[in-house]
Amino acid sequence: MKFHILVVLYKTSPGESRTLSSLARAGQEDDRLSGRLTVWDNSPAPYGPAALDCLDFGQLDVVYRSCPENAPLSLVYNTVLTGMDLDCAVILDQDSDLPVDYFSHCRRSLSAQPGVPLHLPIVKSHGLVVSPGRLMFFKGKHVKNPQSGLRKARGMLAITSGMVLSRSYLQVPRFDERLNLYGIDTKFMINLADADEGVVVMPVVLDHDTALWSDISADAMLFRAKSLVASWHVVFESRPIASCLAGIYARFFMAKLAVKYRDMRFLKS
CB-based burial, 194-222: b 16+ in 10 Å, e otherwise: eeebebbbbebbbbbebeeeeeeeeeebb
Q: What is the pLDDT of residue 255?
A: 95
Peptide bond into 72 cis (omega under 30): no
- Tell me which residues of the chain have a pLDDT lower than 70: 211-214, 269
Q: What is the pLDDT of residue 216?
A: 84
Tens digits of residue pLDDT in 91-144: 999 999 999 999 999 999 999 999 999 999 999 998 999 999 999 988 999 999
* CA distance linking residue 47 with residue 12, whole number of Å: 8
Provide the greatest CA pair distance for the chain.
57
Instruction: State residue 107 phi and psi, 5-degree precision.
Output: -60, -45
Taking alpha carbons only, the member of 6, 3, 2 closest to residue 63 is: 6
CB 141 within 8 A of CB 155: no
Q: What is the mean pLDDT of the chain?
A: 95
Q: What is the pLDDT of residue 209?
A: 83
Residue 198 has what DSSP assignment?
E
Beta bridge partners of 157: 133
Q: What is the pLDDT of residue 269?
A: 61
